[in-house]
């Protein structure tokens, strides 16, 4: 008796009808997409909401939302004949690009700001076999170099300036509408290079146009205070924040983010590192969700509004963009282990527990 074929998963298979695919686009997949939507058990009231849901993009194959767009960008690069891809990255993009390159037999070149990438993300890029170039400068310098190199050499650029990345990332909005039966009132999201807020707004617009939703959510974007160019209205030359994934001073999708904010009657605001780290701890201790610091920016912003009394009910979805294991150094610095030594006996453990 033949075993049944496994169900094919992935963004290109699941959402191919809303993506710019052709018969020549290879249907590659690492099983990305279809990430869980989990109801808050502790924080929604403190945020001033009737309902708060978390979209766990940390459950993608490389642990971040980047896989959702990367699979489309890499498939289209292969369709065009590319044998190598390149990206500039603060970490998650490099991990995702390197994974899909390995899966598809492509060379991958990663430009990272020297000494500015979290250990977990760098480990992923190394494990997948990418060629890593440390650039003397910040992310924006690395992206400028990547753009110039890919314009000169036959290598595909797979940063979010690649429109196929936005196309893939918009599918998360489709999943939210499908899961909830409607778009939320508010979509809260961290903002770094600003491709994701642009992509979600595009996805929600398409859902409304095609009858998958009747609402257009207000887009609430949150940047780290030390890397908040969209908030202050000009690039930040030396961005600084513990949230390395959004440590970007001149977002490539600046116009798209501002358009999403204005068209949705939403906002883009800053949250401090202290507020980000508080939300980071609360998500773990109160919700059982271990995320990287940048992911916590969306929840930090909602908590800030809830405590100020400016949020009055409604349903919100907060995007948790990456897994906490991406940044083990921050986890070690924020959590003191509750460890008591005991002998390996019933009595010894009882004494240690105070029972």
Q: What is the pLDDT of residue 114?
A: 79
Number of helices (H), then strands (E), belonging to the chain: the values are 14, 10
Higher-scoring residue by pLDDT: 162, 5: 162
Q: Is 155 in a helix, a strand, or coil?
A: coil
- Terminal Cα distance for the chain, rounded: 56
Q: What is the pLDDT of residue 262?
A: 98
- Contact in structure between 158 and 74 (CB atoms under 8 Å): yes
Kindly report the average pLDDT of the chain as a whole number. 94
Which of these ranges, 23-32, 289-298, 325-334, has the smallest mean pLDDT? Answer: 325-334
> Phi and psi at residue 38, in whole multiples of 5°?
-115, 130
Instruction: Record the tokens describing residue 310, joined without a space.
Output: 């400016």
Compute the average pLDDT of residues 258-280.
98
Inform me whether the pLDDT recorded for 204 exceeds 80: yes
pTM of the predicted structure, to 2 decimals = 0.92
Q: What is the pLDDT of residue 1?
A: 45
Tell me the pLDDT band of 2, cut-offs 50, 70 and 90. Answer: low
Distance CA 137, CA 154 (A): 24
Which tens digits make up the pLDDT trace of 92-128? 999 999 999 999 999 999 998 877 677 777 889 899 9
- Contact in structure between 203 and 174 (CB atoms under 8 Å): yes
Which of these ranges, 21-25, 247-251, 305-309, 334-338, has the smallest mean pLDDT? Answer: 334-338
Q: What is the pLDDT of residue 333?
A: 84
Which tens digits make up the pLDDT trace of 150-174? 999 999 999 989 999 999 999 999 9
Compute the average pLDDT of residues 285-307.
97
Inform me whether the pLDDT recorded for 4 exceeds 80: no
Tell me the pLDDT band of 6, cut-offs 50, 70 and 90. Answer: low
For residue 216, the tally of other CB atoms under 10 A from its CB is 18
Inform me whether the pLDDT recorded for 5 exceeds 60: no
């Amino acid at each position: 008796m033949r075993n049944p074929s496994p169900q094919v998963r992935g963004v290109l298979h699941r959402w191919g009808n809303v993506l710019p695919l052709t018969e020549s686009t290879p249907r590659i997949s690492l099983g990305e997409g279809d990430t869980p939507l989990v109801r808050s058990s502790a924080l929604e009231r403190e945020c001033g909401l009737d309902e708060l849901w978390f979209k766990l993009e940390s459950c993608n194959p490389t642990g971040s939302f980047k896989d959702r767009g990367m699979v489309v960008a890499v498939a289209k690069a292969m369709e065009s004949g590319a044998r190598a891809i390149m990206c500039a990255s603060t970490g998650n993009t490099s991990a995702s690009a390197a994974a899909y390159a390995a899966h598809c037999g492509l060379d991958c070149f990663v430009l990272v700001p020297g000494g500015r990438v979290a250990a977990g993300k760098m480990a992923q890029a190394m494990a997948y076999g990418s060629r890593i170039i440390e650039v003397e400068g910040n992310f924006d310098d690395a992206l400028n170099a990547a753009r110039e190199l890919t314009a000169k050499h036959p290598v595909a650029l797979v940063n979010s300036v690649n429109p196929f990345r936005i196309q893939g990332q918009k599918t998360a909005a489709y999943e939210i509408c499908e899961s909830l039966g409607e778009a939320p009132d508010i979509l809260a999201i961290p903002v770094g290079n600003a491709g994701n807020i642009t992509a979600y707004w595009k996805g929600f617009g398409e859902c409304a146009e095609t009858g998958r939703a009747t609402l257009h959510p207000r887009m609430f974007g949150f940047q780290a205070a030390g890397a908040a160019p969209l908030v202050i209205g000009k690039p930040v030359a030396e961005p600084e924040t513990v949230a390395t994934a959004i440590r970007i001073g001149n977002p490539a999708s600046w116009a798209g983010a501002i358009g999403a904010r204005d068209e949705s009657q939403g906002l883009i605001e800053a949250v401090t590192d202290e507020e980000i780290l508080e939300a980071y701890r609360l998500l773990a201790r109160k919700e059982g969700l271990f995320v990287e610091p940048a992911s916590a920016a969306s929840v930090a912003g909602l908590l800030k509004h809830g405590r100020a009394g400016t949020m009055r009910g409604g349903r919100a979805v907060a995007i948790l963009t990456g897994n906490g294991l991406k940044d083990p150094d921050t986890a070690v610095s924020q959590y003191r282990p509750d460890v008591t030594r005991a002998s390996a006996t019933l009595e010894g453990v009882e004494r240690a527990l105070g029972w």
